[in-house]
């Protein structure tokens, strides 16, 4: 699946939005990829996961791990297609976020089943790579061998170094959107309202109000 096809899927699902957004990094931007708009479309989500699975089909993946919440869907589908393609069972797990912002993998007997296994970590949107990095570190803490990181979209120019150096980083779509610090944001200068439905706009405005 080429990048043009992936972008067509995003547009079809209404996942690409233009406006004034606050990203998780705190930076401002004019374009947002809303992964939550993708997931209700099961065929399109399935097709994207199949493409990730095909890319890693020769990596001897034995388990797939993703961060909650949306990543749970990706983990299930990618593991399903890897099992189908390779003819052997590939397990699916997910990592839960802890109160201190780290991730822990504990469901499905992961502590017993992941050690020594070749693991593919999957993520929907890479912006800073922070969540993916923590999941990779959590897999390694359990003794898993991370053979790669697969993403639907790398929109932050995330590199292997940013995500704790897995053996491979692959994204179906790579895009670079303009982002600005608050003091340099042209959208703020133009008084364009901040979107509070997606991203961190609601939290940002609440902090501004308090200050």
Report the alpha-carbon distance of residue 167 to residue 85 in Å, rounded: 21
Q: Which residue has the tokens 């839960």?
A: 96
How would you write the pLDDT of the chain (211 residues) with one tens digit per residue? 999 999 999 999 999 999 999 987 789 999 999 999 999 999 999 999 999 999 999 999 999 999 998 899 999 999 999 999 999 999 999 999 998 889 999 999 899 999 999 999 999 999 889 999 999 999 999 999 999 999 999 988 999 999 999 999 999 999 988 889 999 999 999 999 999 999 999 999 999 888 7
pTM: predicted TM-score of the whole model, two decimal places = 0.90
User: What torsion do the CA atoms of 141, 148, 125, 77 make, to the nearest 10 degrees?
Assistant: -100
**Residue 131 φ/ψ, nearest 5 degrees:** -65, -45
**Closest by Cα among 88, 118, 127, 1 to 52:** 1
pLDDT digits (tens, 9 = 90+) for 35-66: 999 999 999 999 999 999 999 999 999 999 99
The CATH number of 3-210 is 3.40.50.2020
- The answer to whether the CB of 128 falls within 8 A of the CB of 25 is yes
How far apart CA 170 and CA 56 sit, in angstroms, is 9
> Which pLDDT score, from 0 to 100, does residue 42 have?
97
Beta strands in the chain (DSSP E): 16-22, 28-33, 63-67, 91-97, 103-104, 118-126, 145-154, 169-174, 179-180
Nearest to 152 by CA among 125, 132, 131: 125
Helix-helix angle 70-86:42-55, to 10 degrees: 50
């Amino acid at each position: 699946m080429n990048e043009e096809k992936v972008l067509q899927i995003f547009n079809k699902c209404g996942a690409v939005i233009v406006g004034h957004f606050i990203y998780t990094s705190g930076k401002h931007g004019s374009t947002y990829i809303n992964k939550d708009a993708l997931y209700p479309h099961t065929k399109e989500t399935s097709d994207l996961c199949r493409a990730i699975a095909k890319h890693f089909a020769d990596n001897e993946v034995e388990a797939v791990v993703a961060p909650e919440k949306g990543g749970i869907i990706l983990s299930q589908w990618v593991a399903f297609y890897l099992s189908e393609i390779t003819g052997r069972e590939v397990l699916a797990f997910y990592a839960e976020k802890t109160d201190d912002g780290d991730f822990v993998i504990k469901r499905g007997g992961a502590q017993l089943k992941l050690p020594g296994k070749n693991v593919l970590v999957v993520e929907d949107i890479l912006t800073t790579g922070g969540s993916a990095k923590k999941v990779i570190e959590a897999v390694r803490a359990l003794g898993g061998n991370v053979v790669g990181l697969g993403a639907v979209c790398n929109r932050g120019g995330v590199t292997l170094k940013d995500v704790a150096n897995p053996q491979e980083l692959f994204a179906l779509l790579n895009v670079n959107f303009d982002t600005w610090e608050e003091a340099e944001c042209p959208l703020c200068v133009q008084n364009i309202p901040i979107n509070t439905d997606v991203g961190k706009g609601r939290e940002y405005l609440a902090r501004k109000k308090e200050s």
